[in-house]
Chain A
Amino acid sequence: MSYTLKLRIWRGDKDGGAVEDFPVEVSEGEVVLDAIHRVQATQAGDLAVRWNCKAGKCGSCSAEVNGRPRLMCMCRLSDFEEDEVITVTPMRSFPVIRDLVTDVSFNYEKAKELPSFSPPPRDADGKRRMAQVDVERGQEFRKCIECFLCQNVCHVVRDHEDNKKAFAGPRFFLRYAELDMHPLDTHDRRELAQGAAGLGMCNITKCCTEVCPEGIHITDNAIIPMKERVVDKKFDPLVWLGNKIGIRNKDNDGRTEV
């Protein structure tokens, strides 16, 4: 059941590189990462690639397969014709370190800018109570494996390097939404999401949702509700008036702005 896959891999570093041919034996049930590993073991021992679990759980092996952002471990060869050429290139939005490995530090920097969860004291018995239905909204977002494919595909930074400073990207809008929907959090991060994180720059083209290997509805369930919450606060004339004359919106109950 095996055949020779016409595999092409981008090789190079920050000074430049090119796509090279690596014809390689593959067999039934294999994924792109298997083919890459075989190239590494038999043809190019120093081929740089990131991977950990090979099970779609750690989000390390992100790359672009025939131009589409994918996890290489979840990209089955059976989805391609046997005579089809498969070209693997590094994620385009991040600087290349070597071969398929990119410098994703942008994401780790953005993570540091986000104020963390801030709960009230526990209940008298030392436990906390939340309803399943309330935690489920945040749980969807916490399925995120930080593969950064959504960050990679987002055209706000993919095509405009200079936006990176002012734009946290879909992965972190997810985190803002998660905390905003957390039944126990006491922070109000709406100003921050809109201001420092650049939520307003997103024009909901849903590219992020399309590439999410976890199937998280990033745009519909996180970004749009978050945008609505910001709009409610900033632009609703009644809320604006209430704030002006000192009537607090119920929305702010138990939360303080950070």
Chain B
Amino acid sequence: MSETNGPAEGRHPMTGNALSGDAQGGMERHTYDVVVIGAGGAGLRAAIAAHESGARTAIVCKSLLGKAHTVMAEGGIAAAMGNRWPEDNWEVHFRDTMRGGKMLNNWRMAQLHAQEAPERVQELEDWGALFDRTDDGLISQRDFGGHKYARLAHVGDRTGLEMIRTLQQRAVALGIEVFMECTVTDIFKDASDGQSKVAGAFAYWRESGRFIVFDAPSVILATGGIGKSFKVTSNSWEYTGDGHALAMRAGASLINMEFVQFHPTGMVWPPSVKGLLVTESVRGDGGILKNSEGKRFMFDYIPEFFKAETADTVEEADAWYDDKKNNRRPPELLPRDEVARAINSEIKAGRGTPHGGIYLDIASRRTPEFIRKRLPSMYHQFKELADVDITAEPMEIGPTCHYVMGGVEVDADTQQSAVTGLYAVGECSGGMHGSNRLGGNSLGDLLVFGKRAGEAATAYADSLGGTRPQVDEADVKAAQASALAPFEVEGGENPYTIQSDLQQSMNDLVGIIRTRTELEESLAEIEAFKVRASTMVVEGHRQYNPGWHLALDLRNMLIVSECIAKAAMAREESRGGHTRDDFPGPDAEWGTKNLVVNLNAEGTGVDLHEKPLPEMPDELKGYFA
């Protein structure tokens, strides 16, 4: 087998394709210490950390570099830097995060995140990020739902773009190798010494449809979320749960899969952009929610858990923006799960807008100049796509599937999964956000744990010395056969149809409000989709064929959908991003445990079991007394 490393090997600069006639079996082969799958914030930060720790590192991503979903993050990066409120510190941030997640978070991850996020943000500035400033020249911080203090470092409402571009430019400057438009379909393992360890990964070039084998002892999953399993979503096509599914097939477990965040504010019209995100910053900067009767309804939906810290009059809520010491937060800035449920109830009660949403009004509250300066992308988005001028009229919005709290169960300090050598970071890992993620905590999560995973993966690869796990040739053949299977079928169904039916089914039956009967129905439908998917047919050839790509992604979407539906059925309570109509309140007993899912022994479905939450040490418990 030929080994290639370093960008100067004559590979195609974008596609990385170096296939020549002498490549054995028509397959490329590369050796690295650390292979990072995904090039969003988490993947790039992990790759930078691995490279800086001395690892030979590769980034493998489904799209072009710089196009990952992080680009769509709008509001900011939550970090207790204290630039606006000196009272702010990691302890307050930690408390906000745990309370936002309804105490189901992995306490250690929430702690590490709160402690390390400020330095991770400062580091971005060292690499060229241009954040908005405070009057004394420091990084500005804005208000967001669930955060006690103004804490989100931001660049207008395009913080994600700034973050991904900064990390991308850093990765390019360091000369890290990137395999763009290259999709990983299998993780290889070596069990020869009795303990199963990662040995590498199998991928195909989207451009040519040819295969690549990566030999690497450390693989970091940074593949993002699962939103494409739902019809109304703010997520891009890439969000098909690849990392979740790869981890399960490799033998790792997932936790918290029942918790899916429906962002309260997605566009509802025109149909073509239904689900598209409207940033929480609109509310952070003064926007309010009104129903069709013109009522500011959020005051009717303040839950007991947040009563003490939420304003109960319009006067107090409005005064809070300028005087946080003497006023409590407006109810529009409750955590996302609360606001999404309230909006859903108003719409169901018949007080929705003509297009089935709710009004989000900033036009009557702030000057056009302020709005255009603070929310330039939102202004642009509504103007261009909906003919709405948000400085003059309210927006119509409704809940949209935005984020999955659930993901690969990992060790808090290293992000390693149950499989030695397999790491997971960012949205595809679980635990950090508990049952509900606070806005702004995602970008911080990517940076903090990206760095930790990159360093841990390098340390592990180093510790192996010369004896590395080996990829079994039989596994390579099996991976190849599996990837080509959709071409072997004749007379089956088109993958686009199955995907579209799955999205509708998940939206209708496993959406924002759930009940047992619908979840049972959903599981039955998923079984039927699996049967249909086993005989789906792909037209054309292997060169840049989206139909084939979707057929492979669909397998991941199906297994992840099953995890969500199964966990949602098991958890008989309502908490965070999981609301059961038949069990409307939180349950103290359920508050002490996670649901863990694994691939079953036959590899055809999902097994589920309960597991107690890791116990918080007493000194941290003090923050919640």
Contact = CB atoms under 8 A, between A and B. Distances in A.
A171 B136 CA distance: 32
A116 B166 CA distance: 10
Nearest to A129: B137
B14 A58 contact: no
Contacts of A46: 538-541, 545-548
Nearest to B65: A108
Interface stretch (B252-260, B271-279, B517-525, B564-572): B271-279
Contact of B384 (A49, A74, A127, A142): A74
Interface string A37-54: 000111011111111111
Contacts of A116: 127-128, 169-170, 172-173
Contacts of B130: 130, 135, 138-139, 142, 182
A32 B276 CA distance: 17
Interface string B68-103: 110110000000010100000000000000000000
Given A46-B546, A48-B544, A29 B269 contact: yes
Interface in B371-403: 376-377, 380-381, 384-386
B13 interface: yes
Interface in B491-543: 494-497, 500, 538-541, 543
A45 B272 contact: no
Interface string B120-151: 00100111101111001111100000000000
B64 A139 contact: no
B497 A41 contact: yes
A40 to B, nearest CB: 6
B547 A52 contact: no
B15 interface: yes
Contacts, number: 180
B44 interface: no
A76 interface: yes
Contact of B63 (A57, A60, A127): A60
A130 B133 contact: yes
A135 B158 contact: no
A109 B13 contact: yes
Nearest to B140: A132
Contacts of A142: 130, 155, 161-162, 165
A135 B500 contact: no
B272 A31 contact: yes
A49 B546 contact: yes
A104 interface: yes
A76 B385 contact: yes
Interface in A88-128: 97-99, 101, 103-105, 108-109, 111-112, 116-117, 119, 122, 126-128
B66 interface: yes
Interface in B260-288: 269-273, 276-277
The listed residue with most B CB atoms (<10 A of its CB), out of A30, A58, A103, A105, is: A58
Contact of B544 (A98, A111, A119, A135): A98
Contacts of B81: 127
B13 A54 contact: no
Contacts of B132: 132, 135, 139
A256 B42 CA distance: 33
A56 B12 CA distance: 28
B544 A45 contact: no
Contacts of B277: 55
Chain B contact-residue range equals 35 or more
A108 B72 contact: no
Contacts of B236: 52-54, 58
A32 to B, nearest CB: 10
B238 interface: yes
A48 B133 contact: no
A110 to B, nearest CB: 10
Interface in B30-78: 63-69, 71-72
Contacts of B500: 41
Interface string A129-155: 111100100110011111000000000
Given A97-B207, A139-B130, A145 B161 contact: yes
Contact of A57 (B207, B269, B377, B541): B377
Nearest to A131: B137
A163 interface: no
Contacts of A112: 172
A128 B63 contact: no
Contacts of A257: none
B306 interface: no
Nearest to A49: B546
Contact of A126 (B122, B384, B548): B122
Contact of A99 (B272, B494, B544): B544
B232 to A, nearest CB: 13
A112 B174 CA distance: 10
Contacts of A55: 72, 273, 276-277, 381
A210 interface: no
B370 interface: no
B155 A41 contact: no
A97 B139 CA distance: 43
B270 A29 contact: yes
Contact of B137 (A44, A98, A130): A130
Contacts of A45: 494-496, 538-540, 545-547
B217 interface: no
B156 interface: yes
Interface in A48-95: 48-60, 74, 76
A13 interface: yes
Contact of A27 (B64, B158, B271): B271
B126 A60 contact: no
A127 B495 CA distance: 51
A253 interface: no
Contacts of A41: 494, 496-497, 500
A108 to B, nearest CB: 6
Nearest to B127: A117
A127 B138 contact: yes
B384 A30 contact: no
A76 B382 CA distance: 13
A45 B545 CA distance: 8
A126 B120 CA distance: 12
Contacts of B66: 146
Given A109-B13, A128-B125, A40 B496 contact: yes
A118 B64 CA distance: 26
Given A30-B271, A41-B500, A58-B72, A182 B128 contact: yes
A162 interface: no
A40 B538 CA distance: 12
A34 interface: yes
Given A41-B494, A55-B381, A135-B133, A28 B128 contact: no
Nearest to B174: A116
B380 A56 contact: yes
Given A105-B12, A142-B165, 6 more contacts: A104-B14, A105-B13, A116-B172, A128-B122, A139-B130, A143-B158
23 contacts: A28-B270, A30-B270, A41-B496, A45-B538, A46-B540, A46-B546, A52-B236, A52-B238, A53-B69, A53-B72, A57-B71, A58-B236, A59-B67, A98-B543, A103-B14, A108-B14, A116-B127, A116-B172, A117-B128, A128-B122, A142-B155, A142-B162, A146-B67
Interface of A: 13, 27-31, 34, 40-42, 44-60, 74, 76, 97-99, 101, 103-105, 108-109, 111-112, 116-117, 119, 122, 126-132, 135, 138-139, 142-146, 179, 182, 215
Interface of B: 12-15, 63-69, 71-72, 81, 83, 122, 125-128, 130-133, 136-140, 155-156, 158, 161-162, 165, 169-170, 172-173, 180, 207, 236-238, 269-273, 276-277, 376-377, 380-381, 384-386, 494-497, 500, 538-541, 543-548
